[in-house]
Amino acid sequence: MRVQQPAATGLDLERVDGRAKVLGLAPYAYEHPAENPTYLYPVQSTIARGRITAIDTAAAETMDGVVAVLTHLNAPRLADAADKELAVLQSDEVGFRGQFVAAVVADSPEAAREAAARVRVQYHQEPHHAALRADHEDLYKPEQINAGLETDTQAGDPDAALASAAVVVDRTYTTPAEHNNPMEPHTTVAQWEGDRLLVFDSTQAVHNARKTLAPLFDVEVEQIRVVAPHVGGGFGSKGLPHAHVVLTALAAKVTGGRPVKYALTRQQMFFLAGYRTPTIQRLQLGASPDGRISVLTHDVVEQTSAIKEFAEQTAGISRMMYSADHRRTTHRLASLDVPVPSWMRAPGECPGSFGLEVAMDELAEACGIDPIELRVRNEPAIDPETGKPFASRHLLACLREGARRFGWERRNAQPGTVLVDGWRTGIGVAASTYPARRQPANTARIRFTADGFYEVQIGAVDLGTGAWTALTQIAAEALECGPEQVRLQIGDTDLPVATVAGGSSGTASWGSAIIGAAQMFRKEHGGFPSAGDTSEGDGERNPAGKNYALHSFGAQFAEVQVHADTGEIRVSRMLGVYSAGRIINPRTARSQFLGGMTMGIGMALHEQSVMDERFGMIVNHDFADYHVPSNADIRQLEAFWLEEVDEHAGPLGARGIGEIGIVGAAAAVANAAYNATGIRVRDLPLTADKFLT
Amino acid sequence: MEPHQVKVNGVPRVLAAGPQVSLLDWLRGQGLTGAKEGCAEGECGACAVLVARADGPDRTRWTAVNSCLPPALAFDGGEVVTSEGFGRAPGACTAEELHPVQREMADRGGSQCGYCTPGFVCAMAAEYYRPERRPVAAGEPAPDQGPNGFDLHALSGNLCRCTGYRPIRDAAYALGAPADGDQLAARREAPAPTVRLTRFVSERAEFIRPGTLQELLDRLEQEPDAVLVAGATDVGVERNLRHSRPRLVLAIDRMEELRRLDVGTDYVDIGAALTLTEVEQGLGGRVPLLNKLFPQFASRLIRNSATLGGNLGTGSPIGDAAPVLLALDATLVLTSRRGDRPVALADYFTGYRRSVREPDEIIRAVRLPLPLAPSTAFHKVAKRRFDDISSVAVAFAARFDGAVLTELKIGLGGVAATPLRARAAEDALTGTELTAESAAEAAGILAGEGTPMDDHRASARYRTAMLEQAMLRFYAESAPELEVIR
Ligand SMILES: Cc1cc2nc3c(=O)[nH]c(=O)nc-3n(C[C@H](O)[C@H](O)[C@H](O)COP(=O)(O)OP(=O)(O)OC[C@H]3O[C@@H](n4cnc5c(N)ncnc54)[C@H](O)[C@@H]3O)c2cc1C
Ligand code: FES
Ligand code: FES
């Protein structure tokens, strides 16, 4: 496959949407003009499981400005109620606390909210289970896990190998529930014009959104238009439509054609917009005294909502990361009366790397080997799971480059020995990886305009990842013109079909389609097109996927300070080196890596959604109590990448950079904290009390 | 009466909204959607805007605040700048050019999804225009400051989930000084907008800005259910999250009688309606213990609005001002139509969110007796480094004669239903020599004071351990001086 020579790509082009954003003029879902809008405010269940026995809406209905009060008794029927997360107001069943049980539509947000407060709901409460436990009685094995992977895998005889291994690490690690918390709350504005639905949505995938909605409302996909030119972050939570999208579109059926606007509050997002499942991971590593791993098992227990299955592929990382002749990975689910978990930045690899990479640190210590050297000794020649060669595996190069830049040689192998001004200080490392995916079913269209611009159209979405900029560059390069000659149009189902901005697949997938369209355009119209000349092109499934294992790799280094008296913990330095194929735009890429690492620091230090199992209630459901990292938490933070072009990653040579920055980050921090204190914390987050002995 | 009006980005706009409408919602309703809602509780700063505040009688200071909390009516007659207002008049740039703050943010990748960006731009612009900001001289220690004197704390109230902050910091540290002809810079040289005595009356709610303390107290006596609003950092959260809708709102944030800072010979009186930022600037470091508190209290955005009166007015057991003021032996000057009534802060709290304050009384000032105890410390333990509520807060104020503690006051927050003085530990140490042994013993006593609880912020065990540690740290910090004395 021919790899495009870097021209416009690789350029340090400023974000094309930067100007609109710094002025506050870029429109997000709530901000598109809507004529004579109505506003929705929901009523959420106050029990975790049971049935609604009565709803009194009289007081709400008679309030000034109220257009409609919807409940399961009067809401329009959906054509398909199989997906219980999306089947809002279709039955009297309550599956988790915080679920929608009614909604008010009114002329003003104030009236909607006030009326919602007057809706009285009575329940028949049934016993519920809301806490994840390793010994949960009805653990079950899902058919498959996220990304269509096998639930369990096994090679060799792990149990026998463990029994005979010279050195064994057998530990259990836990990660808590975490919430994506993009800064823009999930928002939907929906309007029916006859049997056509117009939706302004904060979504990572306009075409997927309408594909999900169409059967629910019994319309063809062409009857739905979803628009999302700017999205204020998502990190996975806006990848799949959640209940509020359906609720808003449903409510728009009873307003006589008036648009309905609904933005979730930050508090509501904790129940209704997806989150990362908590995980309980048992890792067993068996090795020879010199650290060569013969057996690796990774057994995961995690939760799903009883109303809809989501199975995080937590142990997936252990299938390809290190060589071990004997391997086992398993995933078991506890089906609980809790909100529906979903995608959050690097599902699978992110929590899985915490277990695996801390276990590696423990093994290094047990063998008395440097943690980097341990990884060198266990570097596989081929993908252990599939037997395919890696298209590009530069983990060791990342580790070495990172060690050099970070000053790894200054690490004191003996933990708990460095004390500076009352702070115990240490450094740690962890490896990172993320699969390089490319989605088929992407089409791009290129049209030459009368005023001499190339209009490049694709239904891609920029949720902050820099797609506006990267796709402009890719188009310019493929068309061999300047970026200023490209007029990119994205974020609209009226544009050619595109796949989700997720799984680090967006740029590579959409970019391939744009390159295809550009090649077609030049073939059909040559170098001197006339106004109106148009061509389309598709991105195809990456054929290299058949013969190669396609992954990105990285190395995460952290320096941590733990206060000797209070246990307060700070990440004083963090550095990542990544191998992610070609970098389309260094400026946006750097931000993506740093942003991922920062979320990893948040995961390490603060992020935890606390479930009060008595009520099925997430108690810290706002920013006052769910802490995402703030400016002061992030001190020295640096990201570097290897200069490379992955010839197997498609015509772009790029592999995607959205997730890899978070993978391994929390493990690096935990390993550094151990190096600082000699206290091994295996349960995230690393709060101060865990360092007081 | 003239219609209520706010000058936004240089253009007067009629303000027709009740007290339940926040400045943010009003601005967005006007089509100015640059300021965003990310949390509606003052935590994220996506809603930050600039407001024109008095900087002495003759000058104006551009101050960044969270617009999601205060009612729009509180800005009647005021001037507000949003992210949209920078690139054009009255901003410093020609129509094509971005403001320097916006230029740097765009250039350095400080904006990804962009949702947090307008708020960062406003917080950064306030610091850009801070008149005291000067480049840091070579070799001068400047923690959390850029070479251009940019104080990173200015951004402590803005959250970004995308960038990892690094590009934003790069942008902040690259800023120069405002250029000649920068209209926002020039605006600083003229007096702030005069305060209007706003009166909004509707069927459902009333918003009044009384012109005098007397008028305020009269109204309060008639309607003790009225809600006073100072910085609205608590009241705004109540409105947004708990949907509280008071019938009568009395604005006190600009009331002269509550905004005085008097430094006498026997005491310092701090007006209850001064913002924490104003108190910090006004005291200029004269009360070192307060200076230890301010950087740890919420964020700059919040401190630009929050007042001591409001912090004590809520009676929250985890407020940070109370432990510090307890250690400083503060007295609250309560006032009502019956006149002033000084109450020692140590006697003020009576239970969870309850106090001796009568419904018709307000806090007029916080009085600190002079001379101040010279040795002080403030230990706040929170989960996040800044902008977080305390798990435990401990304040010390002590006087030594040689190595003997002649006076010791310890204020505690977060360990009981009310803030409290650690009398037992104080008694154990007062009149004795502070040594490693006596400190260790007192640490045990201190750990036993209060009735800490388990919650998701910290376990009771951890809170207790923190009390103990606070004592040991106080000793450790005093030890070098004591060493010299010995
Ligand atoms: C994001 C965020 C972070 C925060 N972080 C902290 C923190 O770190 N530490 C901390 O201690 N607090 C913190 N707070 C709480 C808050 O900022 C303080 O309580 C603040 O001092 C309240 O002052 P205000 O002027 O805004 O009060 P308002 O909201 O205006 O009023 C609060 C209450 O006090 C009453 N009141 C106001 N003034 C008076 C007066 N003069 N006399 C009598 N009653 C009065 C009001 O009627 C009202 O009931 C935080 C709040 C937010 C939103
Ligand atoms: S919206 Fe988050 S601080 Fe105002
Ligand atoms: S750029 Fe997305 S939250 Fe800051």
ipTM entry: 0.96
Residues in B touching A235 (Cβ below 8 Å): 161
d(CA A450, CA A448): 7
pLDDT value of position A136: 92
For a pocket test of ligand 3, which of B160, B165, B166, B170 has the largest count of ligand atoms closer than 8 A to its C-beta?
A: B160
Token duo for residue A678: 């000699």
Residues with Cβ within 6 A of ligand 3?
A: A 183, 233, 464; B 111-117, 160-163
Among B159, B458, B472, whose Cβ lies nearest the Cβ of A689?
B458
In order of their start, the domains of chain B are 1-195 (3.10.20.30), 264-369 (3.30.465.10), 376-485 (3.30.390.50)
How far apart are the two ends of chain A, measured CA to CA in Å? 58
B68 lines ligand 2 (CB under 6 A): yes
Three-class DSSP category at A327: strand
A692 pLDDT more than 90: no
Burial (CB < 10 A; 0-12, 13-18, 19+), residue B141, is exposed
* Of B34, B83, B116, B146, nearest in space to A591 by CA: B116
At A455, give phi and psi (nearest 5°): -85, 120
Mutation choice for B interface testing from A187, A237, A264, A631 by most B CBs within 10 A: A631
How far apart are the C-alpha atoms of A687 and A670, rounded to whole Å? Answer: 11
**Using a CB-CB distance cutoff of 8 angstroms, which residues of chain A are in contact with residue B458?**
688-689
A622 and B114 within 8 Å at the Cβ level: the answer is no
Nearest residue to A539 via CA among A506, A492, A571: A506
Pick from A23, A464, A689: CB nearest B83: A23
Smallest-distance ligand from the CA of A184: 3
Q: Which residue of A has its CA nearest to B102?
A: A22
Helix (H) or strand (E) holding A93: strand A93-94
Q: Is B40 in the pocket of ligand 2 (CB under 6 A)?
A: yes
Substitution target from A23, A203, A571, A575 for chain B, most B beta carbons within 10 A: A23
Ligand 2 pocket residue status of B39, Cβ below 6 Å: yes
- What pLDDT score does B140 carry? 86
Closest ligand (CA of B365): 1
Distance from CA of A679 to the nearest CA of B (A): 17
Which token pair is A235?
Answer: 């990190």
**Candidates A117, A233, A627; nearest CB to B115:** A233
The answer to whether the beta carbons of residues A395 and A375 sit under 8 Å apart is yes
CA distance A68 to B132: 55
User: Which residue type occupies A625?
Assistant: D
Nearest Cα residue in chain A from B87: A23
- Report the C-alpha gap between A355 and A283 in whole angstroms: 7
Do residue B38 and residue A184 have CB atoms under 8 angstroms apart? yes
Q: What is the per-residue pLDDT for B486?
A: 63
Q: Nearest Cβ partner of A113 from B156, B243, B473? A: B243
Residue with tokens 């059909």: A524
C-alpha span between B280 and B272 (Å, rounded):
13
The partner residue sitting opposite B163, judged by closest CB among A594, A619, A688, is A594
B115 Cβ inside 6 Å of ligand 2: no
* Burial class of B213 by CB neighbour count within 10 A (0 to 12, 13 to 18, 19+): middle
The predicted pLDDT at position B141 comes to 83
Q: Would the CA dihedral through A503, A504, A510, A512 be positive or negative?
A: negative
In whole angstroms, what is the distance from residue B195 CA to residue B259 CA? 13
Q: What is the mean predicted confidence (pLDDT) over A265-293?
A: 98
User: A38-44 and A260-263: which strand pairing?
Assistant: parallel
What is the 3-state secondary structure of A619-660?
A: CCCCCCCCCCCCHHHCCEEEEEECCCCCCCCCCCCECCCCCC
Q: How far is B164 from chain A (nearest CA, A)?
A: 4
Mean predicted lDDT score pLDDT of chain A: 94
Q: Which residue of B has its CA nearest to A591?
A: B163
Q: Which residue has the tokens 């403030």?
A: B378
CB contact under 8 A, B114 and A464: yes
**Element holding A548 (H helix, E strand):** none
User: A494 — contact with chain B (CB < 8 Å)?
Assistant: no
Catalytic member of A184, A312, A401, A659: A659
**Chain B partners of A464 at a C-beta cutoff of 8 Å?**
112-115, 162
CA separation for the pair A247, A267 (Å, rounded): 17
One-letter amino acid for residue B246 of the chain = P
SS3 letters across chain B: CCCCEEEECCEEEECCCCCCCEHHHHHHHCCCCCCCCCCCCCCCCCCEEEEEEEECCCEEEEEEEECCCCEHHHHCCCEEECHHHCCCCCCCCCCCCCCHHHHHHHHCCCCCCCCCHHHHHHHHHHHHCCCCCCCCCCCCCCCCECCCCCEHHHHCCCCCCCCCCHHHHHHHHCCCCCCCCCHHHHHCCCCCCCCCCCEEECCCCEEECCCCHHHHHHHHHHCCCCEEECCCCCHHHHHHHHCCCCCEEEECCCCHHHCCEEECCCEEEEECCCEHHHHHHHHCCCCHHHHHHHHHCCCHHHHCCCEHHHHHHCCCCCCCHHHHHHHCCCEEEEEECCEEEEEEHHHCEEECCEECCCCCCEEEEEEEECCCCCEEEEEEECCCCCCCCCCEEEEEEEEEECCEEEEEEEEEECCCCCCEECHHHHHHHCCCECCHHHHHHHHHHHHCCCCCCCCCCCCHHHHHHHHHHHHHHHHHHHHHHHHHHC
Examine the residue annotation and report whether A659 is marked as an active-site residue of this protein.
Answer: yes
Contact A490, A442 (CB under 8 A): no
The reply to whether residue B458 touches residue A630, judged by beta carbons under 8 angstroms, is no
DSSP-assigned letter for residue A591: H
Share of chain A above pLDDT 70, in %: 98
Q: Does A23 contact B at CB distance below 8 Å?
A: yes
Q: Which residues are CB-contacts of B5 (< 8 A; sequence separation ≥ 6)? A: B12, B13, B14, B15, B76, B77
Pairing of strands A100-106, A38-44: antiparallel
* Cα–Cα dist B230/B198, whole Å: 14
Ligand 2 atom closest to residue B43's alpha carbon, by position in its atom list:
3
What pLDDT is recorded for position B347?
Answer: 95
Q: Is B387 in the pocket of ligand 2 (CB under 6 A)?
A: no
Beta bridge partners of B398: B375, B408
Best of B112, B163, B394 to substitute, by most chain A Cβ atoms within 10 angstroms, is B112
Number of CB atoms found within 10 A of residue A564's CB:
19
Give φ, ψ of A660 to 5 degrees: -60, -25
The closest alpha carbon to A657, from A605, A587, A603, A604, belongs to A587
CB contact under 8 A, A183 and B112: no
Q: All domains of chain A, ordered by start, with CATH?
A: 18-28+439-541 (3.30.365.10), 32-127+183-233+239-272 (3.90.1170.50), 144-178+276-436+547-691 (3.30.365.10)
Question: Looking at residue B387, what is its pLDDT?
Answer: 57
Q: Which positions of chain B have pLDDT values less than 50?
A: 89-95
Residue of B105, B115, B124 with the most ligand 3 atoms within 8 Å of its CB, for mutation = B115
Q: Which of B46, B162, B388 sits opposite A627 (nearest CB)?
A: B388
| Distance between A351 CA and the closest CA of chain B, angstroms | 19
> What pLDDT shows up at residue A650?
77
Contacts of A509 (CB under 8 A, 6+ apart): A437, A438, A439, A440, A442, A498, A499, A539
> Are A23 and B112 an interchain contact pair (Cβ–Cβ within 8 Å)?
no
Read off the pLDDT of residues A445-492 as tens digits, 9 standing for 90 and up.
999 999 999 999 999 999 998 899 999 999 999 999 999 999 999 999
Identify the three-state secondary structure at position A154. Answer: strand
pLDDT confidence tier of residue A3, bands split at 50, 70 and 90: very low
Can you say whether residue B426 is alpha, beta or left, with left for phi > 0 and alpha for psi between -120 and 50 degrees? alpha
C-beta atoms of B161 and A24 within 8 A: no
CA angle B476, B156, B79 (to 5 degrees): 135
* Angle between helix B166-173 and A586-605 (nearest 10): 120
- Hey, which of B27, B44, B301 would you mutate to test ligand 2's pocket, going by the most ligand atoms within 8 Å of its Cβ? B44
Instruction: List the one residue out of A570, A566, A679 whose CA is nearest residue B464.
Output: A566
Nearest ligand to the C-alpha atom of residue B325: 1
Centroid of ligand 1 to alpha carbon of B309 (angstroms)? 7
Alpha helices in A153-256 (DSSP H): 158-164, 206-216, 243-251
Q: What is the DSSP string of A243-267?
A: HHHHHHHHHGGGTTT--EEEE--HH
Residue B417 · residue B317 · CB < 8 Å:
yes
Give the whole-angstrom CA distance, residue A260 versus residue A190: 5
For residue B306, give every residue at least 6 positions away whose Cβ sits within 8 Å of its Cβ, in sequence order, or none: B230, B231, B233, B275, B276, B297, B298
End-to-end CA distance of chain B: give it in Å, rounded. 71
According to the model, what pLDDT value does residue A38 have? 98
Question: Nearest-CA distance from B103 to chain A in Å?
Answer: 8
Which residues in A lie closer than 8 A to residue B172 (C-beta atoms)? Answer: none
Q: Which ligand is nearest to the CA of A265?
A: 2
CB of B45 shorter than 6 A to ligand 2: yes
Ligand 1 pocket, residues with Cβ under 6 angstroms: B 41-43, 227-235, 237, 258, 272-273, 297-298, 302, 305-307, 309-311, 313-314, 319-321, 362-363, 389
> Of B234, B213, B389, whose CA–CA distance to B310 is shortest?
B234
Q: Ligand 1 test: best mutation among B23, B259, B311, B316, most atoms within 8 Å of CB?
A: B311
- The answer for residues whose C-beta is within 8 angstroms of residue B201's C-beta and 6 or more apart is none
Read off the tokens for A611. Answer: 């479930």
